[in-house]
A = this chain, B = another copy of it.
């Protein structure tokens, strides 16, 4: 997703010590082309060097809170985690496959949203506007057609 980010710096700016586990988790998330579930992230980093899954959950939570990581919840039960929008990394919509649960990133310019009206009239604090496309991914379409 974002090879330009300096995770060390991002952590420090957010007031988090850039320790091994946090960096490894960020690297896994950043290196992947699409957002991963906590279980997937756990599986990857646990293979390299064993870690408790609770630790992964806790680190993910803290990263989400500091807006370093974005938590994307969709139709599949498990939340997916991707790098949050930042200077190197524009906000963008996600595609959710209702068939296999895959979550993918779409190009930022794929879809544009007119937020002005909302911002003016909404009584509450807006943190994030999220566009989600739901449907069937190419792979699942292929599988379906084979039957």
Query: In the complex, A37→B109 CA distance in Å?
Result: 33
Question: Is A2 engaged at the interface, CB distance under 8 Å to the other chain?
Answer: no
Copies of this chain, count:
2
> Which range holds the interface residue count of chain A?
35 or more
Q: Contact at B131–A136, with CB atoms within 8 Å?
A: no
A66: which B residues are within 8 A, CB to CB? none
Q: Contact at A135–B127, with CB atoms within 8 Å?
A: yes
Given contacts A111-B117, A124-B138, A127-B134, 13 further A-B contacts (CB under 8 A): A71-B75, A73-B73, A93-B118, A106-B118, A106-B122, A111-B113, A113-B131, A126-B134, A126-B135, A128-B134, A129-B131, A129-B133, A131-B132
